[in-house]
Amino acid sequence: MTVTTPAGFAAAGVACGLKKSGNKDLAIVQNLGPLTSAAAVFTSNRCQANPILWSKQVMADAVVEAIVLNSGGANCYTGSQGFQVTHSTAEAVADALKISAGDTLVCSTGLIGEQLPLDKLVNGVHLAAEALAHADAQTLAGGMNAAEAIMTTDSKPKTCVIEGGTADTGMYSIGGMAKGAGMLAPGLATMLVVITTDAHLTSSQLDTALRAATRVTFDRLDSDGCMSTNDQVTLMASGASGVTPELDEFTARLTEACTSLALQLQADAEGASHDIAITVRNAASEDDAVEVGRSVARNNLFKAAIFGNDANWGRVLAAVGTTGAEFDPYDIDVSFNGVQVCQGGQPDQPRDLVDLTPRAVDIQIDLKVGSHTATIWTNDLTHDYVHENSAYSS
């Protein structure tokens, strides 16, 4: 049920002292081949962490043999010294695994603006390399250790496995792990994700599939509107199954894997008490639907109302009205958990009929101008969110 489920991958997660808690804080996922295909998507934040700058260089030839990830520090806004730490980490991995540093991705997550201790990182790489040499690195245990090591404020590790293929093409699998509980906003949602597959696909095929899958999954998760500097989703293929699936079929399975991880991120968002799905229907374009959904997802008054179990649909429409999407402001329908509280821009069913006590909240917004639909996933704004994010670095 994680990155080691697909054949041809080993993973390890160790504690090297980056986290004051002593918990696991460094992971390596190694692609044992025969293929070394890979694709990655990165944060669209213009302020990018050193590991992002490094990993983009590594992806130039789309060959990846291993990825090393640390929690306990983002290595962002740490200047040339910070970049050197990232580079040296990749070289330590390359030395230990007898691979090229240029084929080694690096991901970091944690507080921005603090230098990472290179000695601890290098020690962690050695510990992880030892673990990778053991047989259980290719089993569930190895994958789960890695998933634990990338956690920050996450309350639990996040993993998934999807089986793909057909009787005709043969079967393959996709495994994934993710971390992320805050700074969860699109382009990408704030997180680190590693997805593995034993399907036999080229890097170019992986890239096409990954962009298609993230566009409708991680890019539509917007927990708190705050985009991180360290987001990275990496997909690696070992080809070890020997199966080359149809790309459409693989993309569909990959999208299922990304959806599973995105919903796990949403469910574990810092301080959240509701998981909110905002579906915008009958928009003139998919972009319009996304823009409207995201505007509502980022409206603090709406999010606070959901926390208070208050079906305050006026706040939904006030947020819709700030967008440039095509609609008639006075002909919109809104429903909360199946109760249509607004029809044609006027009150319909009493808001008191809406039951917002379940964690899952379904908001439907009908723009009535086209045929496009999109769903944005977000969370409510709670006391615990404020608490956790006012105390994070202290």
Write out the residues near its own copies by the rule CB under 8 A: 45-48, 74, 76-79, 81, 111-115, 182-183, 224-229, 298-301, 304-305, 307-308, 310, 312-315, 317-323, 329-330, 341-342, 344-347, 351, 381-383, 385-387, 389-394
- Does residue 184 contact residue 222 with C-beta atoms inside 8 Å? yes
Cα–Cα distance between 116 and 18 in angstroms, integer?
8
The burial of 370, by beta-carbon neighbours within 10 Å (0-12 exposed, 13-18 middle, 19 or more buried), is given as middle
Q: How far is the CB of 371 from its own copies (least distance, A)?
A: 21
Catalytic residue, from 4, 104, 190, 196: name it: 190
Considering beta carbons, is residue 104 or 295 the nearer one to its own copies? 295
Cα–Cα distance between 302 and 316 in angstroms, integer?
6
- Does residue 42 contact residue 209 with C-beta atoms inside 8 Å? no
Considering beta carbons, is residue 69 or 74 the nearer one to its own copies? 74
Considering beta carbons, is residue 224 or 275 the nearer one to its own copies? 224
Q: How far is the CB of 258 from its own copies (least distance, A)?
A: 22
Q: What is the DSSP string of 198-251?
A: -S---HHHHHHHHHHHHHTTGGGB-SSS---S--EEEEEE--TT-----HHHHH
Q: Count other Cβ atoms within 10 Å, centred on residue 284.
A: 15
Residues in the chain: 394
Could you tell me how far CA 350 lies from the centroid of its own chain? 37
Q: How far is the CB of 147 from its own copies (least distance, A)?
A: 24
Q: How far is the CB of 115 from its own copies (least distance, A)?
A: 8
Considering beta carbons, is residue 103 or 231 the nearer one to its own copies? 231
Q: Three-state DSSP class for 280?
A: strand
The pair of structure tokens assigned to 8 is 């041809």
Could you tell me how far CA 309 lies from the centroid of its own chain? 27
Active site residue 166: no
Cα–Cα distance between 294 and 387 in angstroms, integer?
24
Q: How far is the CB of 48 from its own copies (least distance, A)?
A: 7
Considering beta carbons, is residue 331 or 362 the nearer one to its own copies? 331
- Does residue 121 contact residue 70 with C-beta atoms inside 8 Å? yes
**Residue 43 Ramachandran class (φ > 0 left, ψ -120 to 50 alpha, else beta):** beta
Q: How far is the CB of 328 from its own copies (least distance, A)?
A: 10
Q: How far is the CB of 187 from its own copies (least distance, A)?
A: 8
The pair of structure tokens assigned to 133 is 């040499």
Quote the longest CA-to-CA distance of the chain: 67
Cα–Cα distance between 291 and 118 in angstroms, integer?
42
Any bridge partners for residue 221, and if so which?
A: 377
Considering beta carbons, is residue 249 or 310 the nearer one to its own copies? 310
Considering beta carbons, is residue 286 or 310 the nearer one to its own copies? 310
Active site positions, annotated: 190
